[in-house]
Amino acid sequence: MNDTIAAISSAGGPIGLIRVSGERAIEAVDAVFDTKNGRPLTQAPGQKLIFGTLYGVDRDPIDRCFAVVFHAPHTYTGEPMAELQCHGSTAVLHMALDALFAQGVRQAEAGEFTRRAFLNGKLGLSEAEAVHDLITARTVEAAQNAVAQVMGAVGSPVQQIRDELTGMVAHFHAVVDFPDEDIDPVLFEDAAALLHRTTTRLYAMAESYERGRILREGVPCVILGRPNAGKSTLLNALLGRERAIVTDIPGTTRDLIEESVKVGKLLLRVTDTAGLRDTTDPIEQAGIDRAMAEASASSLILAVFDGSQPIGDEDLLVLARSAGHRAIAIVNKSDLPQQLDRKLLEQHFSHVVSLSAKTGAGMAQLLALIPGTVGLGDGAFDGALITNARQAAALARAAERCEAALYAAQSGMTPDAVVMDAEGAIAALGEITGDSVTEAVITRIFSDFCVGK
């Protein structure tokens, strides 16, 4: 990490940001930027915007902008850093990068700034991964959960648990080192109490991943129903615009139509599907097959029934496909005379909602039901929800090893049996903090980042 790196760190717009980090960061920016006050950037105070002129490779002026320097170790990466805040023109930003490259700076790799922050001890690994979640957050709540994790909402409790287990293991090692001494039964009792508490806590953290994944990625939601039940009209009503073609002709929707819509604190990834029915049309049948497969993979099914018609054989297909899934039955077309008997639906669904996708009547009731149905009702997004599959798997492994150590402690096994499983838990938790993670895993984690982050 002795080389100096640079990258565009803005996503477009009127202001462009170039970030530079490394031993020669301030020197390199000083070489392409003349301050208005005439003082070199190498003598400038840190964290203060300085106005001046930015020059290209041939020393032709390319922008009037700001520069700011950050002195190590009080920087994001722990290294000397500098930033150029230019006008957001792509041409200006790339000319500025070329000028820096001419000073011996190289292009930063994906996630390299945050990787350096981790390697230099400025961020734990879980905090670094949360930076990626914060960058890619698509809802306010997902951003709130991510920023709490950047500030240690996952890393701090995991480190605390790891420290407690390490202390317990140290006590057991002391006993093993002096085999002639009698083992105090209180040692096993204290260990069992700690392991019981820790196992419960770790399982709870691991099990929060399903809700955390939904918060970060959105809820895969499929609209299912027979032809002309009003599925496409419902999609349009959720989106607040005409996205799907709506006609009275059965089989209009043949392919999947996917859109995202904000519902309260959640992002729904909604898929409208072909109407379920028996058909001899191979194209329509292909659409129905895809609808069935999409329903199987979804976290929520909105099962739409035509309230102006009695339950038919095609509706029974919808009932069968919804069984065993988180699902809400929607009795659509409440603006028309009703012929559907709700009793059958109430036997199969926990929630049955009457609405008119055409007029919007009943839509508020449907939207209010969705968060609780998918397991994300009221609650603060304080970073407690695990949103990372790698972390969830490590937490589950740590919980299993703690559970095994607890059994050993309660069963009167030898101290080394307790120690072996406890050390396995410590290693698993180290995969979250970054204390026992491989270089290959680190490389894979940061390769998911954008360049410039």
Tell me the pLDDT tens digit for each residue of 428-449: 999 999 998 888 988 888 888 8
Closest CA relative to residue 222, chosen from 190, 259, 186: 259
- Chain-centroid distance, C-alpha 266: 13
Model confidence at 139: pLDDT above 90: no
Model confidence at 380: pLDDT above 70: no
pLDDT for 204 equals: 94
pTM: 0.79
E strands in 273-357: 300-306, 327-332, 352-354
pLDDT for 178 equals: 60
Closest CA relative to residue 47, chosen from 83, 78, 22, 21: 83
CA angle 326, 332, 336 (to 5 degrees): 165
pLDDT (average), residues 53-61: 95
Range of weakest confidence among 35-39, 261-265, 439-443: 261-265
Tell me what the pLDDT averaged over the chain comes to. 85
Model confidence at 216: pLDDT above 70: yes
Higher-confidence position of 240 and 293: 240
Model confidence at 249: pLDDT above 80: no
Model confidence at 181: pLDDT above 60: no
230, 357 in Cβ contact below 8 A? yes
SS3 at position 432: helix
pLDDT for 280 equals: 46
For the range 75-78, what are the long-range contacts, defined as Cβ-Cβ under 8 Å and sequence gap of 24 or more? 75/21, 75/122, 76/21, 76/113, 76/117, 76/122, 77/21, 77/113, 77/116, 77/117, 77/120, 77/122, 78/116, 78/117, 78/120, 78/121, 78/122
What percentage of residues in the chain have a pLDDT greater than 90?
51
d(CA 379, CA 382): 9
In this prediction, residue 383 has a pLDDT band, given cuts at 50, 70 and 90, of confident
Model confidence at 248: pLDDT above 70: no
Return the CA Rg of the chain: 29
Residue 12's CB is within 10 A of a number of other CB atoms, namely: 10
63-95 pLDDT per residue, tens: 999 999 999 999 999 999 999 999 999 999 999
pLDDT for 1 equals: 59
d(CA 77, CA 257): 43
In this prediction, residue 221 has a pLDDT band, given cuts at 50, 70 and 90, of confident
185, 193 in Cβ contact below 8 A? no
